[in-house]
Amino acid sequence: ADSIGRVIKCKAAVAWEPNKPLVIEEIEVAPPQANEVRIKIVATSVCHTDLYHLLESMHPDGFPTVLGHEAAGIVESVGPGVTEYQPGDKVIPLFIAQCRECRFCKDQRTNQCEQAWRATDRPGVMAPPETRLTCKGKTLLQFVGTSTFSEYTVVNAMAVAKIDPAAPLDKVFLIGCGVSTGYGAAVNTAKVEPGSTCAVFGMGGVGLAAVMGCKNAGAKRIIAVDINPDKFEKAKVFGATDFVNPKDHDKPISQVLAEMTSGGVDFSLECTGKVEVMRSALESCIPGWGVSVVVGWTDLHDISTRPGQLIAGRKWTGSAFGGFKGRDAVPGLVKAYLDKKVKLDEFITHKLTLEQVNDAIEMMKSGKCIRTVLNVSPE
């Protein structure tokens, strides 16, 4: 408790500039201000959106930053006005806040939040204007308001979910992004129906979670689509019934799927963040009632299709964090894991330390891992 109210010096992985390895530095983490929570990060992971910011978007105004947004930890201290959390609470930081007051938070149809936009509304920057992190006299941006590649971070109290003290943090950190995002895209956004046929594009962590969501929703046929055949065995574990590798076919994947399903799938989920795959996913849907959900993030290109695809009755929509209102839903997802209703352990293929974050990035780039847990601090 001697750290309360003081600056904490700790280790973090700093992205000084785009497209360069992260550097392990000693950084300063200021005490939490009003309505903020300082968290000791126990476990975190690299998610594709971290790679996107570092290697694809490469927006110069988005650096230097501390990446990381999929994590779990323990409250170290709280700022003035915070009553919901106490030191010692197990928590998951949220990259989409839930203020509970704005018109979006009060509407059951969405998990968007006017407060959440402050964390990401500056195009390419992907960080709020204020930050509690500094290094070598320089301000470090807090990536999507979380910055979990650090032993400590400070998060707005609206962007924290308090979870069951029995939860193993080195597993439930997955609920901080990948699993919730894919799982919720299937059950909340697509609203997959029992007996339906689904296609999921991209068998990374998010896509596999989408497969699990389709299965839990009662889909009878779940087609996994990926250009890496090594992913099929993993996809089966989560409930995939078929596997299609676009490289095995000389016709468009939408045509292949239409032929497999007598006209197209009822639901498709795009989990790669590539606009051409988004188009394929839409066009793989059956006309009349097919629903295609865009889950993978990119902000670099437009999406396109012929209007006839939509006029025929397909619906094209998108999903952020699986449509879950974070503070309300995350504790329930943790409970679902503890009750064995949701799988988490099966996503974790490698275990490293924060110092090995660049190895985790390389493994994700090459498709050698699903999720690599970075053990930051002991629980």
Asked whether the predicted pLDDT for residue 48 surpasses 70, the reply is: yes
Tell me how far the alpha carbon of residue 303 is from its chain's centroid. Answer: 21
* Mean pLDDT to the nearest integer, 216-244: 97
Asked whether the predicted pLDDT for residue 24 surpasses 70, the reply is: yes
Asked whether the predicted pLDDT for residue 331 surpasses 90, the reply is: yes
Could you tell me the CATH superfamily of domain 191-318?
A: NAD(P)-binding Rossmann-like Domain (3.40.50.720)
State the pLDDT at residue 117: 77
**What are the backbone angles phi and psi of residue 45, rounded to the nearest 5°?**
-150, 160
The amino acid occupying position 174 is L
Report pLDDT digits (tens) over 96-143.
999 999 999 999 999 999 987 766 677 889 999 999 999 999 999 999
Mean pLDDT value across the chain: 96
- Percent of the chain at pLDDT > 70 equals 99
State the pLDDT at residue 116: 78
Per-state percent for the chain, helix, strand, coil, to nearest 5: 30, 25, 45
- Do 62 and 53 touch, CB atoms closer than 8 A? yes
Q: 51-56: long-range contacts at Cβ-Cβ below 8 A with a sequence spacing of 24 or more?
A: 51/361, 51/364, 51/365, 52/273, 52/297, 52/298, 53/15, 53/126, 53/143, 54/15, 54/18, 54/19, 54/22, 54/361, 55/18, 55/19, 55/365, 56/298, 56/300
Distance CA 284, CA 3 (A): 55
* Mean pLDDT to the nearest integer, 7-28: 98
State the pLDDT at residue 119: 62
Could you tell me the CATH superfamily of domain 8-178+323-375?
A: Medium-chain alcohol dehydrogenases, catalytic domain (3.90.180.10)
Asked whether the predicted pLDDT for residue 90 surpasses 90, the reply is: yes
State the pLDDT at residue 346: 97
Distance CA 141, CA 159 (A): 16
Strand partners, 267: 198, 291
User: In which band, very low, low, confident or very high, does the pLDDT at 1 lie, cut at 50, 70 and 90?
Assistant: low
User: In which band, very low, low, confident or very high, does the pLDDT at 191 lie, cut at 50, 70 and 90?
Assistant: very high
Exposure string of 236-246, with b = 16+ CB inside 10 Å and e = fewer, is eebbbbbbbbb
State the pLDDT at residue 17: 97
Q: Cβ-count burial of 123 within 10 angstroms (0-12 exposed, 13-18 middle, 19+ buried)? A: exposed
Domain with CATH 3.90.180.10 in the chain: 8-178+323-375
Domain with CATH 3.40.50.720 in the chain: 191-318
Catalytic residue list: 47-49, 69-70, 99, 102, 105, 113, 118, 177, 371
CA atoms within a 13 Å half-sphere pointing along the CA-CB vector of 202: 28
Residue 115 Cα distances to 62, 97, 128, 145, 329, angstroms: 20, 6, 10, 11, 18
The amino acid occupying position 250 is D
State the pLDDT at residue 123: 80
State the pLDDT at residue 120: 67
Residue 310 Cα distances to 191, 288, 289, 317, angstroms: 19, 9, 10, 11
What's the chain's Rg over C-alpha atoms?
20
State the pLDDT at residue 124: 86
275-283 vs 253-260: helix axis angle to the nearest 10?
Answer: 30
Distance CA 379, CA 360 (A): 21
Q: 120-123: long-range contacts at Cβ-Cβ below 8 A with a sequence spacing of 24 or more?
A: 120/95, 120/144, 120/145, 122/61, 123/59, 123/299
Q: Cβ-count burial of 59 within 10 angstroms (0-12 exposed, 13-18 middle, 19+ buried)? A: middle
Tell me how far the alpha carbon of residue 325 is from its chain's centroid. Answer: 14
> Can you list the positions of beta strands (E) in 79-113?
90-93
Distance CA 118, CA 23 (A): 27
Report pLDDT digits (tens) over 250-309.
999 999 999 999 999 999 999 999 999 999 999 999 999 999 999 999 988 999 999 999
